[in-house]
Amino acid sequence: MLVGFPNNPRNEISKEIDWIGNNGFDFIDLFLEPDQSELEKVNVKDVRRQLDYYGLGRIGHTAWYLPIGSPMRRLRKCAVEIMREYLDAFVEIGCHKATIHTNWPPSTMFTAEEGVKYQVESLQSILELAENAGVNIMLEPLGTAYDNARSIDMLLALNEKLYFHADIGHLNLFGRNPIEYLSLYKDKLMHVHLHDNNGTQDLHLPMGAGNIDWDHLLGILKSFYDGTVTLEIFSHDREYILYSKKKLLDKWNSIGF
Ligand SMILES: [Zn+2]
């Protein structure tokens, strides 16, 4: 398993890379989004040079609110165009896999099936662009009512080259069981976001601060997965992040097969 951390896009990206590089992470989950790390502002060559300096791996991450599922066709087309720019940046920086998130139209006006239809249209174009760029696309379901197995099945069925990104915190909402989702999509699993919550709010807490049974979950995850795991914990005090990293590695290394 490789452990990573995301840059906070509201902070200066070079300082974020310094912190990640100096604290023993294997890779950065590169959040290229407003305000400090948006595509127009980031010098991709500088980012690549700095990541190389620290020997950090890198995974691309697009803004979670990219409107690929908007009911407005022109917004969807615009989202695909922005994705084209993302892919150029990811290629230059050396990211071979990148996350895109589910994006749903307003639930009071549109059904999940309509939301799937809108996203499928965008994803078809995006997957074509990504294949030409040599970047694997991973779909990260958000923590909304629509992000259930029925919707995920329909989206992943779209293309064998669309992979699954399991955000364990998101999969712990709306009465869902993250272990069930990890097992359902283990054949397509390419990346994991790890954070805790209370089952009702997407809190991005340190490991053990919510209600997820980590010993049980990690035991099952390790039986079929040994890839990248990002600690997507949002805390101003970064001691909590380092503590979670230690806990994760201790638990992971104590699981024997
Ligand atoms: Zn996530």
- pLDDT tens-place string over residues 192-236: 999 999 999 999 999 999 999 999 999 999 999 999 999 999 999
State the first-to-last Cα distance of the chain, in angstroms, to the nearest integer. Answer: 15
Report how far ligand 1's centroid is from the alpha carbon of 169 (Å). Answer: 8
Report how far ligand 1's centroid is from the alpha carbon of 193 (Å). Answer: 5
Report how far ligand 1's centroid is from the alpha carbon of 81 (Å). Answer: 23
Report how far ligand 1's centroid is from the alpha carbon of 208 (Å). Answer: 17
What is the predicted pLDDT for the residue at 158? 83
What is the predicted pLDDT for the residue at 78? 98
> Structure tokens of 53?
């300096």
Report how far ligand 1's centroid is from the alpha carbon of 217 (Å). Answer: 17
What is the predicted pLDDT for the residue at 168? 98
What is the predicted pLDDT for the residue at 159? 84
**What's the structural domain count of the chain?**
1
Report how far ligand 1's centroid is from the alpha carbon of 46 (Å). Answer: 25
Q: What are phi and psi of 233, to 5 degrees?
A: -100, 130
Q: Look at residues 131, 122, 128 and name the one whose alpha carbon lies nearest to residue 103.
A: 122
Q: Which residues pair with 101 in a beta bridge?
A: 140
What is the predicted pLDDT for the residue at 41? 94
Report how far ligand 1's centroid is from the alpha carbon of 129 (Å). Answer: 23
Q: Look at residues 102, 60, 62, 104 and name the one whose alpha carbon lies nearest to residue 83.
A: 62
Q: Which residue bears the tokens 């980031």?
A: 42
pTM to 2 decimal places? 0.97
DSSP code string of 163-181: EEEEETTGGGSTT--HHHH
Report how far ligand 1's centroid is from the alpha carbon of 231 (Å). Answer: 9
What are the residue ranges in the chain where pLDDT is below 50? none
Report how far ligand 1's centroid is from the alpha carbon of 191 (Å). Answer: 10
What is the predicted pLDDT for the residue at 27? 98
What is the predicted pLDDT for the residue at 256? 85
The domain in which residue 11 lies consists of 2-254
Report how far ligand 1's centroid is from the alpha carbon of 45 (Å). Answer: 26
CATH code of the domain covering residue 24: 3.20.20.150
What is the predicted pLDDT for the residue at 176? 97
Report how far ligand 1's centroid is from the alpha carbon of 250 (Å). Answer: 22
